[in-house]
Amino acid sequence: MPSSIPPSEAAKDKIRAKALEVGFDVVGFAPAHLVQTHGENLKTYVEEDRHGTMAWMEGRHEHRASPDGLWPEAKSVIVLGTNYGPRTDPAAISVYAQGKDYHDVVKKRLKALGRWMVEDLDCEIKVFVDTAPVMEKPLAQLAGLGWQGKHTNLVSREFGSWLFLGEVFTTLNLEPDRPMVDHCGTCTACLDACPTGAITPYRMDARKCISYLTIEHKGMLKPNLMENMGNHVYGCDDCLAACPWTKFSVPHTEPNFLPRIELTAPRLADIAGLDEAEFRQVFSGSPVKRTRRNPMVRNTLIAIGNSGAPALREVAEALSEDANESIRETARWALERLEKS
């Protein structure tokens, strides 16, 4: 007796099962064509300079605006999420960077799923994970994985804001899942939690965001921003952790994401004392390695200046004559800050 399941739904069921088998925690299906609004929002973001010094966001707009702009043959997008929910409160180094580099973990799974799709479903595919002009959060919302909260990050009813995203573009014409509706309501917890006031409802100004400042921005930072950065040395999870939906999240069980002890409670003096070679060795295999030594030491000096710990004064003094200008200036700022504490 012939099956009553439409071919598209049968293919989706097989893909979903295989995706869970290779290690993903949630799977959804989105169209490969985004409505014009998504592209317009991105264009406005760049035109208002809210992207800061991330010049790579200024080009390839036609590719970013819609998946079929990046790959015209794409008919559907499979959006996949991997839970990285922490077991403890976020620390000075962002949760996502405390284990192995998630790009490597997610990309390996995407390739495994993609190879299977090509062989079993006779289609073409392209895989992406946070390294190409893909509007992954709007796609994730269209695929039903969650919604873009007021902090602009994806919020899942099951995993909170702790999902790594990856996408498989495919030539298969798959029926999209039902988009997730916004469940933020009147809550402003994420906005209230931002130390630097970088967030207004559904709008992010990267120029004030601690994640941007500690990872993307090079050189000296403005004193008023440094004073509000607290002990963050790489990234910031304050808005994610403050979201009430986080209480429904579950800790991950992925060995690759288990935090390294030196990254959960890093000693500021140890990080500040690293040279370039030592930095690469300590952060080998970690997303932190992308910052390079100089910005990381600068970030650490900001945390030292905000620490109120006189014992760290010697660390700042030693770096006040560093060869790097931003380190020298930040060290001197930290010394002045410690004098006032």
DSSP run (H or E) holding 19: helix 7-21
Q: How far apart (Å, rounded) are the C-alpha atoms in residues 148 and 204?
A: 12
Cα separation values, 2 from 7, 15, 251, Å: 11, 21, 43
Supply the residues annotated as catalytic. Answer: 130
Query: Please, what sign has the CA dihedral across residues 296, 301, 302, 304?
Result: positive
- Cβ atoms of 12 and 175 closer than 8 Å: yes
- Cβ atoms of 144 and 199 closer than 8 Å: no
Residue 148 burial (C-beta neighbours within 10 Å; 0-12, 13-18, 19+): middle
Beta strands in the chain (DSSP E): 26-31, 76-83, 125-128, 147-148, 154-155, 163-170, 199-200, 203-204
Q: How far apart (Å, rounded) are the C-alpha atoms in residues 57 and 38?
A: 14
DSSP run (H or E) holding 223: helix 223-227
- Please tell me whether residue 165 adopts helix, strand or coil conformation: strand
Q: Give the side-chain half-sphere CA count within 13 A for 40.
A: 3
DSSP 89-144: ---SB-GGGSSS-HHHHHHHHHHHHHHHHHHHH---EEEESSSSS--HHHHHHHTT
The packing angle between helices 7-21 and 102-121, to 10°, is 140
Which token pair is 180?
Answer: 């997730």
- Cβ atoms of 216 and 286 closer than 8 Å: no
DSSP 147-161: EE-TTSSEEBTTTBT
Q: How far apart (Å, rounded) are the C-alpha atoms in residues 337 and 227?
A: 9
